[in-house]
Amino acid sequence: MPSQEDKLSRLSPRDRQVLREIHEGLSDPKRIAERLGIKEVSVISSAEGLAEMGLVSLDKRVEEVYTLTEEGARYAEIGLPERRLLEIAGAEGVFLSEIKDPALKVGIGWLKKKGWANVEAGKITPKKDAPPGKDEEILAALSFQGETSGSALDEDALKVLKSRRLVESRAQKSWSFGATNEGVSVLKTKVGTSLKDSYDIQVGVSLEDSYDIISHINQITPDMIKSGVWQGKYVDYKGARYEVRPYDVALPAERVYPGKVHPYQRLLTRMREIMLEMGFTEIKGEIVQSSFWNFDALFQPQDHPAREMQDTFYLDTRANIPDYASVKEMHERGGDVGSTGWGGVWDPEVARREVLRTHTTSVTIKYLADHPKPPVKAFSIDRVYRREAIDPTHTPEFEQLEGVIMDEDLSFANLLGVLKEFYGKMGFDEVRFRPGYFPYTEPSVEPEVYIEGLGWVELGGAGVFRREVTAPFGIDHPVLAWGLGVGRLAMLRLGLKDLRLLYQSDVGWLRETPLSARM
């Protein structure tokens, strides 16, 4: 354990000054900073270092302080809407039709909630005297004294005022210091007489001058290194003798949180880079899609469960759709590709209904319809929307990555090779494929990757587009396609158990998530 002399030798002139002021009864860093003529942050830094050595006790608190918003300041001056309504109503009351100011109408509900008046038959009738409430007292106090600690104000009234956006708060840190017995003992170690003498510093001497008085040297200069005088506890330099202040590399430094790209955005960027490296072209599309492109063009029957309201956000609008004769024929009778179709009658009015896209495949099939000739190698990373209950693994909107390749003589084996390459670039060394089913691909697979501690985890779906999907748009070559829910991948990569963190502004999580060049 360091001796008192060792601890004293580590103290800079500033540390000694701060310790002296604390011992003499100053506990507020702002007052200490004013007394010494230095910055408050410098006082706090010194005090934290002194606390690490056990020389100072440190009490750090974080509390909410409140101020009036612009609207709150106005109401503090002219009165809350319900108070002004009560004054207008007087003893006889007032009819609602006589109140023309929209700002006053806000107070009608508050009159009833506070029990100040009855509102019946279109008339406000005061009940009784209404003494100033806690909320009004807080408005008056904040108007008079400005920023105030929440601990000094009524908690329930503050909640009401905050919900009405009449007050706003911020977190404020405060420090309080006190010298420990060991701190006092260290001060007396320098010279065994008085505490004042132990510093060799007088009040009123500048911090810069105090370095010369104490004869401490805090920085080794190039001249000292060249001459070799820097070694040892004392340095003879330019006719004076200095004591070298040790530098403790084990002391904790203040944490720095630099600006950085959001972890989820970094992951999306990395996925985009991989697709571009593999020769794909990025495509974009509209969030609002017709049911034709979102469902019908993908050979989903018009009575498919995925179209139900519990899965899809429907809009009250209708879209124009392209010539649908070939799609109608494919749905009803299977066209000329050897399919039986779905039978029944395909209704173009159902296809015109607009939805928030439930997958990016609606963008992909539209792109393929506009580019029916090979080669096509495209991808999209975009947001999709489904009526999901919000929980740790589901949200109603999320990102999806989708890729398609269309060319001559492509095979199912080519699809597996591309997927393995993609997941390998994402950092997954072990990839396998399990047979799966999807409405618009055949054959279909579900890629799985091996995660240490979790085992095999499914990460998307893939397959070859069915001829019922491609034939109506004049596409005569195989189309390989796959999709990936990016959120699940992000949870694995970032070690999350709650998907919602990706979309919340949790500053603590954002600060603690390490920055990596490649995710």
300 annotated as ligand-binding: no
- Cβ neighbours for 516, distance < 8 A, ≥ 6 positions apart: 266
Best CA proximity match to 224, nearest among 209, 212, 214, 234:
234
Q: Is 271 helix (H, G, I), strand (E, B) or coil?
A: helix
168 annotated as ligand-binding: no
Q: Is 112 helix (H, G, I), strand (E, B) or coil?
A: helix
Alpha helix (H) ranges present in 25-170? 29-36, 40-52, 70-78, 81-89, 102-105, 107-113, 134-145, 155-163
421 annotated as ligand-binding: no
Give the residue carrying structure tokens 């992909």. 364
454 annotated as ligand-binding: no
Q: How many whole angstroms separate alpha carbon 187 and alpha carbon 179?
A: 10
144 annotated as ligand-binding: no
Helix (H) or strand (E) holding 257: none
User: Angle at which helices 13-23 and 207-214 pack, to 10 degrees?
Assistant: 100
Q: Note if the bond before 443 is cis, omega within 30 degrees.
A: yes
Best CA proximity match to 275, nearest among 421, 477, 445, 406:
421
193 annotated as ligand-binding: no
Q: How many whole angstroms separate alpha carbon 9 and alpha carbon 243?
A: 9
Alpha helix (H) ranges present in 432-471? 467-470
Amino acid identity, position 87:
E
Exposed/middle/buried for residue 257 (C-beta within 10 Å: 0-12, 13-18, 19+): exposed
400 annotated as ligand-binding: yes
Residue 352 region by backbone torsions, left for phi larger than 0, else alpha for psi between -120 and 50, else beta = alpha
Which residues are annotated as part of the binding site for Mg(2+)?
A: 442
Which residues are annotated as part of the binding site?
A: 361, 400-402, 440, 442, 465
Which residues are annotated as part of the binding site for L-phenylalanine?
A: 361, 400-402, 440, 465
